[in-house]
Amino acid sequence: MSRPAAVIFDLDGVLVDSEKVWNEARRQLVEERGGCWREQAQRAMMGMSSLEWSRYMAEELGVPMSPEAISAAVVQRLKRLYRERVPLIAGAREAVASLAARWPLAIASSANRPVIELVLERTALAAFFEAAVSSEEVAHGKPAPDVYIEAARRLSLEPRSCAAVEDSGNGLRAAAAAGMLVVAIPNREFPPEEEALAMADLVLPSIAGFDADTLAAAAR
């Protein structure tokens, strides 16, 4: 790849410091409904589509609700918290603006579409992105490449011509499986496994300072 034709961002953990928020919302629901929370549950659900993680909560964590009801309940909690404050990661806005000045951008997220739309609206980042895809809109969540392939399709580009920015093990696997140039910004709370991190073409300590020149250099 001489240079990317577009950049596709994950949302949670890359632009928004939200993994703890998702973790707490899910844990509270499990405990309120008499399920059994497991410490490895959040890592297991990272990257899953809404149908996949809500089914996991029903079948593996013992929440006595349908997957659809679980997903809706968690999303309502997230939306309530985000209406109060969206925890945008320091440097995220500047990175997005720098990259958007040179390439079209898209979102490829495991979050439900209402959550994606609310975050982009509340942070005023929506204007920078030409497309946004939720994994609930494709057949399989991450680590399958479906959400990245669909994001590239909505930009009218081949996946191999795009760069992806990810923080989690399953996200890195998904972006690599799509054939994209992979930029890793490892999640500090739930760091990716070494074998997943090895799939990245560029590893950065944080999104602060990430800009178009940094990506162009990595692509060369």
Q: Would you name the residues annotated as active-site residues?
A: 10
Whose structure tokens read 């040179």? 102
- Residue 191 sits at φ, ψ, to 5 deg, of -65, 145
Residues 6+ apart with CB under 8 A from 192: 167, 168, 169, 171, 172, 184, 186
- CB atoms inside a 10 Å sphere around CB 173: 22
What value does the CA radius of gyration of the chain take, rounded to a whole number of Å? Answer: 16
CA dist 104 → 75, 130, 174 (Å): 28, 7, 20
Name the DSSP class of 191: P
Yes or no: say if 105 and 96 are a contact pair by the CB < 8 Å rule. Answer: yes
Yes or no: say if 97 and 127 are a contact pair by the CB < 8 Å rule. Answer: no
- CB atoms inside a 10 Å sphere around CB 150: 21
